[in-house]
Structure 1
Amino acid sequence: MDLVLLQNKLDNLSFAVLFVTMLIYWGGLAFPKIPVFPTLGTAGMAIANLCMACLLGARWIEGGYFPISNLYESLFFLAWGVTTIHLLAEWLSRSRLVGAATAPVAMGITAFAALSLPDQMQTSAPLVPALKSNWLMMHVSVMMLSYSALIVGSLLAIAFLIVTLGQPVELKGSSIGTGSFRKRDAQPQSSEATDRSAGLEEGTVASAQATAVLTPVSTAAPALSFNRLSLAESLDNLSYRMIGLGFPLLTIGIIAGAVWANEAWGAPWSWDPKETWALITWLVFAAYLHARITRGWQGRRPAYLATGGFLVVWVCYLGVNLLGKGLHSYGWFF
């Protein structure tokens, strides 16, 4: 079997399947009454996940090492992780909006890896001596899985902001996703206010002394419908769960990297650009979790933090490669 040819077919197939899957999820949002769209979308993500797993497996057999040593391999591992976390999130939420947010990102990652990278960066090459260690699988794979979970969680937070855009919404409940919507505290009403409320429904207020016509006061912004409120709550809780999954993985990955660095270079931390941005990523999502668990934040404020975290993850993973230096660079076009 020609493993190189198989990999070329699988990476293009992964891109094509994810592109169609993205259109299916978006079609499900445009035509919510067609029940087949969510099923097809889930099936598409599962097929793409399997294709990328087979690609990485073929890469492993061909090269004889865990396939995560260059930019091409890491991109497909990241896309595989995103689709895996997506399937978990969709199973927990049963919402088609999850795929509408995650499918474009997974498709973009595979398109960049399969269609944009030059051939020399897609070719499997022998490992450099520094990477010939069991820590390669432990450290890098855990870091990439943490990126996947954090990206999905951040995308769900962005989806929450879009769903509630321009609308007043307030959530309550525990941060572990068992909350419900907080009704505004009802103020005690006097008998006169009660009479007026009753009279408002009829258009007049009758009293012993006079009859007055009341004009309803319009609110500044209409409230969200119950369905959108339920969706917003689901996205908020699910975003927290996915970030809560990714943060411990990020912590373990950083610790494993420090142990490996101490073994390979004699120092656990050298303030390499990748290390610095990994620390920044950790601090951003630590602030997110602290705000939710300790401060009780829910809704828009933690969603803004997660949105910032989404950008920080991409700078940490891909942006530092633009510098063209550092011990962790996967390489670039230069």
Structure 2
Amino acid sequence: MAQYEMTLFWIAVACYGIAAICYIFGLLARKEALFNCALSIVVVGFCGNLGSVVLRWIAGGVPPFIAISESLASGVLIAVFVFLIAQFVVRNLEAAGVLVMPVCFILLGWAGTLMKGIGSTMPPALQSTWLWTHIFAATIGFSCVLFAAALGFLFLLKENQSGGVYEKLPGLQRLDELGYRFISGGFVFLGLMMVSGALWSNQVKGNYWNWDPVEVWSLISWLVYGIYLHLRITMGWRNRRLAIYALSAVVVMIISYWGIPFVSENFHTGFRIEH
């Protein structure tokens, strides 16, 4: 089963990489046909990504999001799922793949370099309902703000370009509004991530907040998006400034979500499954 899992995993990596190239060249050449081709490739990659995650879960009998490589693979899976759903809910957003798919390709490829054996036991600290809520909220929150960053990128492109695929993009006001909605959703889910994480921490360690680096950076990320909402709702910011803000903020989110757990030994990394 491990062989099938890894085959599907690398198929997903390859598909995401090819799709990313198609999206980029589609934008540069202003060829909508390349976007359509890329979307089909993303669907194939998503199926491979999903299959590898499911097979790993079945083989190990434990949730496939405990090790950093598993967290990356599962997080990318949800991000691509949100991207695909958005394609069918909102028309003419194919070009969002120009940002979403390169990020997903890099993160999933990184996961492949970190992949280890399948976990066989689950520590008591991870056997909590709050863990599921925590992971679900974190992945949905990240997916929302990543897509919002892609919308911000499209806003900046459409503002300075015309003709071809740019004409088919939603209007600037529509892109601005969609970015706001996705960040609002991401803000709610990131808040749920922190609350469920605090309850989980109290269940395991007897206190709600430990000031470990992941907790601190999660709070920073949440506040960054809280500031975005404050700037829009209270200060009246719109359009270009918020598009740039959304692009910058997602970098903080990526560092918080995967970078800090990778380099820091703390509560989160201290309870990894032994392989």
How far apart are the structure 2 equivalents of 1:69 and 1:25? 32
Aligned partner of 1:146 in structure 2 is 141
1:7 deviates by 1.1
Aligned partner of 1:90 in structure 2 is 87
1:305 deviates by 2.3
Cα shift readout 1:94-142 (whole Å, capped 9, x = no counterpart): 233211121111111111112x22xxx4222222231122322221122
How far apart are the structure 1 equivalents of 2:14 and 2:232? 38
Aligned partner of 2:252 in structure 1 is 312
Cα shift readout 1:223-274 (whole Å, capped 9, x = no counterpart): x779399553343233222212211111111111111111111111111111
The answer (yes or no) to whether the contact 1:89–1:242 under 8 Å persists in 2 is no
Q: CA 1:39–1:229 in 2, change beyond 3 Å: closer, same or farther?
A: closer
Aligned partner of 1:137 in structure 2 is 132
The answer (yes or no) to whether the contact 1:89–1:238 under 8 Å persists in 2 is no
How far apart are the structure 2 equivalents of 1:22 and 1:300? 25
Q: What is the CA RMSD across the aligned residues, in angstroms?
A: 2.4
The answer (yes or no) to whether the contact 1:149–1:245 under 8 Å persists in 2 is yes
The answer (yes or no) to whether the contact 1:68–1:141 under 8 Å persists in 2 is no
Please give the secondary structure, in 2, of the residue aligned with 1:122.
Answer: coil
% identity of equivalent residues: 28
Aligned partner of 1:198 in structure 2 is none
Q: Which runs of 5+ in 1 are unaligned?
A: 168-223
Query: Which is helix-richer, 1 or 2?
Result: 2
Aligned partner of 2:150 in structure 1 is 155
How far apart are the structure 1 equivalents of 2:168 and 2:206? 54
The answer to whether 1:66 aligns with 2:63 is yes
1:307 deviates by 2.4
How far apart are the structure 2 equivalents of 1:130 and 1:157? 39
Cα shift readout 1:44-73 (whole Å, capped 9, x = no counterpart): 222222221111111111111221101111
Q: CA 1:64–1:74 in 2, change beyond 3 Å: closer, same or farther?
A: same
Which stretch of the first structure deviates more once superposed, 21-30 or 307-316? Answer: 21-30
The answer to whether 1:264 aligns with 2:261 is no
The answer to whether 1:30 aligns with 2:28 is yes
How far apart are the structure 2 equivalents of 1:231 and 1:122? 46
Aligned residue identity for 2:191: T
The answer to whether 1:9 aligns with 2:7 is yes
Which stretch of the first structure deviates more once superposed, 37-46 or 102-111? Answer: 37-46
Q: What aligned pairs does 1:274-289 form with structure 2 within 5 A after superposition?
A: 274-289=214-229
TM-score (norm 2): 0.87
Aligned partner of 1:329 in structure 2 is 269
The answer (yes or no) to whether the contact 2:131–2:196 under 8 Å persists in 1 is no
Aligned residue identity for 1:40: C
How far apart are the structure 1 equivalents of 2:248 and 2:24? 25
1:151 deviates by 1.7
Aligned residue identity for 1:17: C
Q: Which runs of 5+ in 2 are unaligned?
A: none
Q: CA 1:26–1:143 in 2, change beyond 3 Å: closer, same or farther?
A: same
Aligned residue identity for 2:117: T
Q: CA 1:129–1:308 in 2, change beyond 3 Å: closer, same or farther?
A: same
Rg larger for: 1
Q: CA 1:72–1:227 in 2, change beyond 3 Å: closer, same or farther?
A: same
How far apart are the structure 2 equivalents of 1:325 and 1:133? 21
Q: CA 1:4–1:278 in 2, change beyond 3 Å: closer, same or farther?
A: same
Aligned residue identity for 1:251: G
Aligned partner of 1:293 in structure 2 is 233
Q: CA 1:77–1:65 in 2, change beyond 3 Å: closer, same or farther?
A: same
Aligned partner of 1:216 in structure 2 is none
How far apart are the structure 2 equivalents of 1:39 and 1:98? 12
Cα shift readout 1:266-311 (whole Å, capped 9, x = no counterpart): 1111111111111111111011122223333211222232223112
The answer to whether 1:122 aligns with 2:89 is no
Q: CA 1:14–1:156 in 2, change beyond 3 Å: closer, same or farther?
A: same
The answer (yes or no) to whether the contact 1:236–1:298 under 8 Å persists in 2 is yes
The answer (yes or no) to whether the contact 1:101–1:159 under 8 Å persists in 2 is no
The answer (yes or no) to whether the contact 2:20–2:102 under 8 Å persists in 1 is yes
Aligned residue identity for 2:201: A
Q: CA 1:17–1:323 in 2, change beyond 3 Å: closer, same or farther?
A: closer
